[in-house]
Structure 1
């Protein structure tokens, strides 16, 4: 039986690394568009990116530009939820759970964190892409090392669960960034590029590019690993493997029930109705992610209070894991 604190650490390592990777992807595409298109309202577009990522804009009273956007999302060590902050949080969780992670995983996170300063200095000379590429490449390396060097037991399942839940949330954020655009808007391609899905999408749909096909691919595709449906199915299967209780009537724990309902709502969606109330559907899925996180935390990470029989007092179990402050 894995200790609750180790299970929680692995879950949040999966979430933090995935979030840093996806934020780097989203920011890289956004910056490229801002620098290429002189007609874009830079301040409005920058604030949209921050809003989509769920970040606090901080003290940005004046107009934002590419550099202040990058500072807030990527470099700022004092800002909760920045890329640097997320990688630091993943590293600290890995430090506290060394007995359940491989040496290669720890070394990857530690080296990544220690290399952020050099990557930032290169980016300030050559452009933000240098830093964002570094983060994306190191996140891919960590994912590969986790898959290759960690036994695929409960510890790996907690890591995979965290990665999958975060992937659902971040893919939804990518779609939300374009949910109000016209069906014919070329900006929909930015969702595909952010998710690393552009080439796969073009091969799947024979080069046809429109909003309905983009949404269909990113929400429903069974084979693409960053689609919402695929990530939901992986999270559901992982939770099912972690579930130790059996029930003759098929009763499920709350987190598993929530994931199953979300997956079914997409699986049996009527064709041609994807763009109807798209924003509402995406926000509902995002709320499900929050509810799943709370249910997983309550079921697997909150240990029962320890009862001291000597003096009949109760002392709360202490958890030494860095936790997410707000989803």
Structure 2
């Protein structure tokens, strides 16, 4: 496979999942303010922008500011609009590799998103993004051969999911504007799965452990890291007798092992630090993947032909 095609597929997975994850983060803020009318909107909005998303914040911040920067800003791929546009552009470059249904779903998502309006963030905006991301993921899994092209797309999706869920989990329940765990569970679509596995006994520690460490819930941090490792093994299946030469696998395996085999109470107690380590590992793994598989320099251009 051409490196440029592999890179486009990888980023399609990441950008679609980024739009989904950003919608869930903004929805957690919306639910928090609905559940607790006395909550400080400025502090909560500043937490979303500054702590969760790592964006600079100066002065009082509102939900409208969050919507402007995380939902409607086309110039930034950290926003939903920017991520959906970038996903469509990458899909256009990899058009010959995608299934027709997948290309149509991504293209339609971008055009219909522009018709929803950009005045204020509503539940309709956020739920629609989540539904379209799920549709795109389902179509890719059911209409693409599960070859290297699909592996790169799912790899990007898994890395982005681990990063976005870690961002949300790191601030769940914080007294300084963080969303309550009930809102975090709802935004991750984990409310029913959590209630079934814990028989309805909701506590902060149990919710945190579920979203960070559950081996069966597809949006948990541990599940996403395991999925990313599996895709990397499929892309490079050689048997290594002395350690792991794949830097991306080494980075992901190290943090995944620390979570999976750590004492649950210790992981939950140090959740912000652990989740920051996950984000760092994902960033390092993404860079290692780019160095190993993607075009590292400018494409050669021919200016004249020697005779």
TM-score computed with the length of structure 1 as normaliser: 0.85
In structure 2, the partner of 1:322 is none
For the 8 Å contact 2:32–2:180, the answer to whether it is kept is no
Measured in 1, the distance between the counterparts of 2:208 and 2:25 equals 17
CA apart distance, 1:93:
0.2
In structure 2, the partner of 1:96 is 93
Give the 5 Å matches for 1:115-264: 115-120=112-117, 124=120, 128-178=122-172, 180-181=174-175, 187-264=180-257
Report SS of the residue matched to 1:32: helix
1:110–1:142 distance in 2 versus 1, CA, 3 Å: same
In structure 1, the partner of 2:299 is 317
When the two chains are superposed, the root-mean-square deviation of aligned CA atoms in Å is 2.3
1:44–1:6 distance in 2 versus 1, CA, 3 Å: same
In structure 1, the partner of 2:33 is 34
1:48–1:237 distance in 2 versus 1, CA, 3 Å: same
CA apart distance, 1:53:
4.2
TM-score computed with the length of structure 2 as normaliser: 0.90
Measured in 1, the distance between the counterparts of 2:274 and 2:173 equals 11
CA apart distance, 1:176:
1.4
Report SS of the residue matched to 2:114: helix
In structure 2, the partner of 1:46 is 45
Report SS of the residue matched to 1:115: helix
Measured in 2, the distance between the counterparts of 1:259 and 1:62 equals 37
1:211–1:52 distance in 2 versus 1, CA, 3 Å: same
Query: Is the counterpart of residue 267 in structure 1 residue 260 in structure 2?
Result: yes
In structure 1, the partner of 2:104 is 107
For the 8 Å contact 2:28–2:183, the answer to whether it is kept is yes
Query: Is the counterpart of residue 287 in structure 1 residue 269 in structure 2?
Result: no
Segments of structure 1 that go 5 or more residues without pairing to the other structure are 306-315, 320-327
Query: Is the counterpart of residue 71 in structure 1 residue 68 in structure 2?
Result: yes
In structure 2, the partner of 1:311 is none
CA apart distance, 1:276:
2.6
CA apart distance, 1:148:
0.6
Measured in 2, the distance between the counterparts of 1:153 and 1:36 equals 45
